[in-house]
Every structure is written in structure tokens, then in C-alpha cells.
């Protein structure tokens, strides 16, 4: 049986530095290959035998992982934040980084991160693009209101973004420079385009059979809407990756940073090591969910009585994570616990 070779891959936009080692740590080969499919295909034919690979998670990692994975015995993706703590050194270059990745893989110390299936990553890309479109639309709406305020025009802010009202407003406003009117018309056109794109993206996600049932189960939780459920499914992936709700809460960035030394513990603000997409969506959902969910409303009131509104919102967001994780794991719609009555 041929021995396994360990390959470290330092991935960049145009090039990939690689290092190939045996199980004993002997260097087989080092070099650089172009970050394109044709070059990688040729590189694969030159490998000395069966191999395991390790690469750092970057914006370029997805397609490279999908391309190389069928050719490897195993291909792992390293967590970049954890990797920095382990491989800190004075000397840092692409060849050295590739060698460190190979060594960490060889001795089974690679801080691996979860790599979701290709289908889920494709859907996640669509959802994140939709989020960007919505934020751009909000910026455009604020700009429209700002332009009217700059020239002292009177308008109804609740109706400003309606097509009929906007057309009437453009006809009756006075002493407004033509340049401002043109900018408002341009902003209105962009806003309509954003709305159409956003609806198409949501339709594509809604009709996907891979996640539809899972999303519908999560929406059985009062206060959890379609976007929140979609975000959870596509950002979490497999819910079994978390051993407890505390791990899920930490991943969502709903706990504070902790520093402890010599028996003294210091808590900071919310940790920056989190999934920012989930954190943003959960906090937004936590502000609205108590309006529809009696259990979350009671929790919010209890925490709010302590005098801090932000902490009350965080408590609701953490409880939402517990609900979402429980429904996801059980594969059954949410059922609220009924408090037992004592006769």
C-alpha cells in the first residue's frame, strides 16, 4: 500500500503555494501553481501518490475545495482565526505557510472549520446577496429623504417610496432644482430595480426543495419569519455540529468576550469572533419576536425590569437560538411548553 502524502496549500487569488511531505515529515516537493483549473489539473497528475490536503479558509477557497476534493483521500479547510494563534512566527511567506499547513495536517493539529455542501453554499451566496441588495435599498431610501430635506421640500415620509405618491410629489414640489429632481428619479428607478431583484432572490430560495421543509419547521416558532429561518438554515448548515446550545449561541456572537488570568475574570463586549450574518439577523428578530411570542415577551419584560434594554434584546436572541436549535435537531414543528398547574 502506498503511503499517504500530506499537502499544505496556501491559497491566493492568482497563485497557490504548496508543500508536500511524507508522514515522517520529509520534504517531497515545494512550489507554486496557478490558481486556475487548467493549472491545477496538470498539478494533480504530478503528485507522487495518494494525498491528504489542508488549505486555509478564504474567499477563494470554495471553488478550489470543490475542484480538488474528489482527487484527495481527504481535504480539510483550516479556520483562519485559530490558525494564526498556532502558526505565529517571525518568518512568514507563502512557502512557509504551506509547509506549516502540511505539518499541522500531518500531526493532526489542524484547527479545522466546517465546510458546507456545495448546494448549501450556492444558496447561502444568494441569501447574502439579497441581504446586500436590501441594505443598498435602505441606503437609497435614506438618500431620497435627505435630498428632499436639503432643499426644504415637504413630504410624507410614510408614503414617499410609493410609486403613485412619488409621481405626484415630483409634479407639485416647488423651488426644487432640476438636478435634485433628476437624482430623485434616478434613486426611485434604482429602488424599483432593487425590489425586483430582491423578490427574485427570495423566490429562488423559497422554491428550493433541499431546504423548504426545514425552513417551514423553523417558521412554526412564533416570531420567526421566513428570512430568519432561511438565514439559520444556510449559515448553520448541519445543526448537529453543535454539541450544546451554548456553542450555537457563541457561534452566533451573542456572548461576551472572556479574559481570565490568575483567577480574575473580565468580561468585554460581544465577541467579534462570530457569524456576523446570523448575529445581525438574530438581534433584528429579537426586537420584533416578543410581539408575536408570549414566552419571548415574558422573557423580555423580565430582563427589561433590570434596566438594560440591550441586554433584554440579547436574552431574547439567545432564547431564539435555543428554540431554533431544538426544532432543527428534533425535525418536528415547535411546541411551546405549557406550565404545569398545581391543583
pLDDT 10s digits, 22-59: 999 999 999 999 999 999 999 999 999 999 999 999 88
pLDDT of residue 320 exceeding 50, the answer is yes
Q: Write b or e for each residue in 159-197: b if 16 or more Cβ atoms lie within 10 A of its Cβ, otherwise e.
A: ebbeeeebeebeeebeebeeeeeeebeebbeebeebeeb
Task: Output the pTM of the full model.
Answer: 0.85
- Say which residue the cell 429562488 belongs to: 204
CA dist., res. 216 & res. 327, Å (int) = 11
CA dist., res. 97 & res. 104, Å (int) = 11
Helices (runs of H) and strands (runs of E) counted in the chain:
13, 7
CA dist., res. 282 & res. 313, Å (int) = 10
Name 76's Cβ contacts closer than 8 Å, sequence gap at least 6. Answer: 52, 53, 54, 55, 105, 110, 112
CA dist., res. 193 & res. 54, Å (int) = 42
pLDDT 10s digits, 58-105: 888 999 999 999 999 999 999 888 887 666 666 778 888 999 999 999
In this prediction, residue 1 carries a pLDDT of 39
CA dist., res. 138 & res. 158, Å (int) = 14
Contact 60, 36 (CB under 8 A): no
In this prediction, residue 343 carries a pLDDT of 39
Amino acid at each position: 500500500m502506498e503511503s499517504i502524502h500530506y499537502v499544505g496549500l496556501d491559497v491566493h487569488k492568482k497563485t497557490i503555494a504548496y508543500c508536500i511531505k511524507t508522514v515522517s515529515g520529509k520534504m517531497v516537493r515545494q512550489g507554486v501553481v496557478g490558481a486556475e483549473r487548467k493549472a491545477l489539473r496538470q498539478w494533480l497528475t504530478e503528485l507522487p501518490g495518494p494525498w491528504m490536503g489542508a488549505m486555509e479558509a478564504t474567499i477563494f477557497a470554495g471553488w478550489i475545495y470543490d475542484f480538488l476534493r474528489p482527487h484527495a483521500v481527504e481535504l480539510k479547510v483550516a479556520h483562519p482565526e485559530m490558525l494564526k494563534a498556532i502558526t505565529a512566527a517571525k518568518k512568514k511567506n507563502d512557502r512557509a505557510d504551506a509547509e506549516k499547513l502540511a505539518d499541522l495536517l500531518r500531526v493532526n493539529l489542524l484547527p479545522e472549520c466546517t465546510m458546507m455542501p456545495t448546494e448549501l453554499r450556492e444558496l447561502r451566496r444568494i441569501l447574502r446577496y439579497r441581504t446586500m441588495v436590501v441594505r443598498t435599498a435602505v441606503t437609497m431610501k435614506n438618500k431620497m429623504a435627505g435630498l428632499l430635506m436639503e432643499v426644504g421640500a415637504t413630504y410624507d415620509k410614510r408614503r414617499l417610496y410609493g410609486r403613485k405618491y412619488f409621481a405626484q410629489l415630483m409634479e407639485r414640489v416647488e423651488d426644487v432644482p432640476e438636478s435634485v429632481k433628476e437624482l430623485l428619479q434616478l434613486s426611485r428607478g434604482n429602488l424599483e430595480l432593487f425590489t425586483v431583484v430582491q423578490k427574485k432572490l427570495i423566490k429562488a430560495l423559497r422554491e428550493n426543495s433541499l431546504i423548504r421543509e426545514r425552513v417551514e419547521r423553523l417558521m412554526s416558532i412564533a416570531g420567526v419569519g421566513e428570512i430568519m429561518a432561511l438565514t439559520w438554515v444556510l449559515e448553520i448548515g448541519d445543526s448537529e455540529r453543535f454539541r450544546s446550545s451554548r456553542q450555537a449561541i457563541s457561534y452566533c456572537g451573542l456572548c461576551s468576550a472572556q479574559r481570565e488570568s490568575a483567577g480574575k475574570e473580565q468580561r468585554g463586549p460581544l465577541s467579534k469572533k462570530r457569524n456576523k450574518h446570523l448575529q445581525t439577523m438574530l438581534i433584528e428578530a429579537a426586537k420584533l419576536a416578543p410581539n408575536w411570542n408570549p414566552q419571548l415577551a415574558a422573557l423580555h419584560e423580565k430582563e427589561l425590569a433590570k434596566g438594560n434594554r440591550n441586554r433584554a434584546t440579547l436574552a431574547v436572541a439567545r432564547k431564539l437560538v435555543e428554540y431554533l436549535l431544538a426544532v432543527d435537531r428534533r425535525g418536528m414543528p415547535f411546541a411551546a411548553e405549557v406550565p404545569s398547574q398545581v391543583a
